[in-house]
Every structure is written in structure tokens, then in C-alpha cells.
Amino acid sequence: QVQLVESGGGLVQAGGSLRLSCLASSSIFSINVMGWYRQTPGKQRALVATINSGGSTNYAASVKGRFTMTRDNAKNTVYLQMNSLKPEDTAVYYCRATTRTTTDWGQGTQVTVSS
């Protein structure tokens, strides 16, 4: 099991930027897929971006071209650079780590984008 701690959320105006970080309690080198998800009240948690062990990324259509996910294996950390933020990006953002046998989630970090 991997403990995940997200940070970097906050309040930003529309058009602004934030960078989220997700620090893992152990090496992420062997984790198959790391992902960022987001959730708003009354809705299911939705995929934002993923990155696999080879560094390949995948993005939701709504964030493609604005968000960039990266990983730093040496720091056991993944990042989500969010640019050109919109009010509809407001949500709690969660980090997820998936191995062959386990899936772990962080506690989430709130992102609020004001219009």
C-alpha cells in the first residue's frame, strides 16, 4: 500500500495557473499508473490525467492542451501543471496510484477557480 499526499491546491482567478503535487510514501518507479482525478459535489470522480511507468500520458478532453502531468521518480512525486484555468475546473483533485494488485488514493486537495 502506498500513502499519497496531495498539495498545491487553492483559490485562483480564471486564466491563472496552479501546480499540484502528489508525494508517495514509497518509490513510484514500480507503480504502473499514476493518475489525477477530480470530483465535484454530487458527481462521480472523473479522470483528469494519467501517466504510466514509461512516461506516456493521457488526458481528459476537457483539459487537453491546458494541463500537463509529469512524474519525478527520484522524488517519488507526480505533478499536475494546470494552466488557463476555468471556473469549471473547480473540484477536489485526487491522486491515485495503481499497481498490478492495488489501487491507492490520496486525501484530495481543493482547487477553486473564480470567474
What's the rounded Cα separation, in Å, for the pair 6 and 115? 24
> What SS3 state is found at 89?
helix
Convert the pLDDT of each residue in 14-41 to its tens digit.
999 999 999 999 888 878 899 999 999 9
What's the rounded Cα separation, in Å, for the pair 39 and 26? 25
What's the rounded Cα separation, in Å, for the pair 57 and 72? 14
- Strands 57-59, 46-52: pairing is antiparallel
**Residue 9 pLDDT > 90:** yes
pLDDT score at 52? 93
What's the rounded Cα separation, in Å, for the pair 16 and 49? 19
**Residue 7 pLDDT > 90:** yes
Contact 14, 113 (CB under 8 A): yes
Best CA proximity match to 107, nearest among 93, 97, 89: 93
